[in-house]
Chain A
Amino acid sequence: MTLTAVKAINCTSCGAGLDVLGGGRVTTHICPYCGTKLDATDNYRALKRFNDVPRPQTPFPIGTTGTILGVDYTVIGLLEQVERWAGKTYAWLDHQLYSPTHGYAWLTLEQGHCTFSRRYRRPLWMSDHQVARANHRPSLWDNGEQFKYYESSTSEIRYAEGEFSWQPRKSDKTSTVTVLGDTRMLSFSATGREREVEQTTYLSADDVKQGFGIDPGFAPSRVHPLQSFKAGPNAGFQIKTSAIFAVLCLVLAGVFAGQSGRDILGRVSVSRADLPFEQVLEGIAAGELVQLRLAGNGINTWSEFELEVSDPEDEVLFSTVRAVERYAGRDADGNWSEGSNRAKATFRAPMDGDYTLYIDVDSEGAWTGSGAIRPSQWNQLSVSVDAGRKVIRWMVFAAAAFGLLAGWPWWRAYRHNAARWRDSDWVDEDDD
């Protein structure tokens, strides 16, 4: 009888019955009952007691079978690994998997996420020294996919049970450099003089449910670096439709902007002698938006004009004041000017008919200061009125809203990608 034909043994330390699941390359079997490490290559001779901590909880106990990427695997070993950094301890569970056709692999549980790792037999390597010497985030290419440095870690085993194709040792520390691509993660691990490259892919909760027939009850609070962004089923529709509506709104805004209202009073020039100025505004329709515009020609002076509008029934509709003021001069920094010789007032007509506009100066004055141009009061005041004005800002708001709706799926993808790299330990001001 060969060793690989053995289906079960009794622990040579405590006598407990142990299933043998792991195939012919298993070298170590750690009894889950007494924690003794047995030498599978030497009649399961007891080597030493391994575990002195409680067994961690896992939804994949030894003997669990399932399918990953179309391959049937059996869980044959369990490792709890820990990393201590910055006063904190991070723990995860590695499950040694065995397939009679595909060999050994790892199923890892960490912070509610599940990943699948296999040895990667490609001539790729990135060392701690390379990372330490790099001025920019190190990267490498494999099969057309770029992998960028993610993190360096040093882990050790806290708990082990079951079968392994190698000899777990509690004192051994494993240094790992991890690089991250869009769909895969590559890990370059070194333990003493041994080194190994592993490729890791993400297993979603659905993958686990379908592959193992169990609901692992994952409730991850953070995005895993390998977790791909899943856009909603309507994301493409939302982007295209919102973009079309945004363009439509901008086109309509342009159309409305082109309809700037019809002239009621076209640029009448008023002199000081014409004040108080009175003008009938003919043919204004109920509900129309009407705008009065003033333009003076003074400099370093201010004039407050009183505007009053009466409705077709000769009742005062409103009275208000608008200032026209412009200042200019020269200082150490050169010529300067501020203020405006233009002013406007906009109202809504409550009824059809002819309105009356009255204008007079309410108050005015001059400003003289260091470097100021000599004050000059206005002598010509341009008055114009139009009605039926449009307000295009509503179309601009709508276009902006549709733009946000179109950009929302992209923004979510951007945030997700940022979350994938959040825990990377690389710090570089030039890093993108």
Chain B
Amino acid sequence: MNLFRIIFLVMSCAIVVGASYLSYNGIGGENRDISNSIRAASGGRGFGGNVK
């Protein structure tokens, strides 16, 4: 097995592992209009007396 094939196999395995990690953990699945920074920036829009 030559160097190209070894590198190809290693990179392919890395791609599968990396894609599996991203998929399993749902990376990139969050909505872009939902940001946790709201919590740091304000108390949110809030209603019903639940906003602190």
Interface residues of A (CB under 8 A from B): 233-234, 237-238, 241-242, 245, 248-249, 252-253, 256, 276, 278, 287-289, 306, 308, 310-311, 314-320, 345-348, 350, 356, 358, 360, 388-395, 397-398, 401-402
Contacts and interface: CB of A to CB of B under 8 A. Distances in A.
Given A315-B52, A320-B34, A347-B31, A398 B44 contact: no
Interface residues of B, number: 36
Given A245-B16, A398-B15, A401-B15, A358 B23 contact: no
B48 A276 contact: yes
Interface in B20-39: 20, 22-31, 33-36, 38-39
A390 B28 contact: no
Given A318-B44, A394-B23, A289 B30 contact: yes
B49 to A, nearest CB: 10
Contacts of B24: 256, 390
B8 A394 contact: no
* 9 residue pairs, one from A and one from B, having the closest CB atoms: A289-B26, A316-B44, A398-B19, A394-B22, A391-B29, A394-B19, A319-B44, A394-B23, A319-B45
Contacts of A288: 26
Contact of A241 (B12, B19, B44, B51): B12
B34 A395 contact: no
Given A306-B45, A317-B36, A241 B8 contact: yes
14 contacts: A234-B5, A238-B8, A252-B23, A256-B24, A278-B48, A311-B39, A317-B39, A318-B34, A347-B34, A358-B47, A360-B47, A391-B23, A394-B18, A394-B22
Contacts of A360: 47-48
Contacts of A256: 23-24
Interface of B is mostly: loop
Contacts of A395: 19-20, 23
Contact of B23 (A253, A276, A314, A320): A253
Nearest to B1: A237
Nearest to B45: A319
A385 to B, nearest CB: 14
Contacts of A320: 31, 33-34
Contacts of A347: 30-31, 34, 36
Contacts of B43: 316
A113 B43 CA distance: 76
Given A346-B34, A395-B20, 11 more contacts: A249-B16, A252-B16, A288-B26, A308-B46, A316-B52, A347-B31, A348-B26, A348-B30, A356-B50, A358-B47, A391-B22
A388 B29 CA distance: 11
A346 B12 contact: no
Contacts of B51: 316
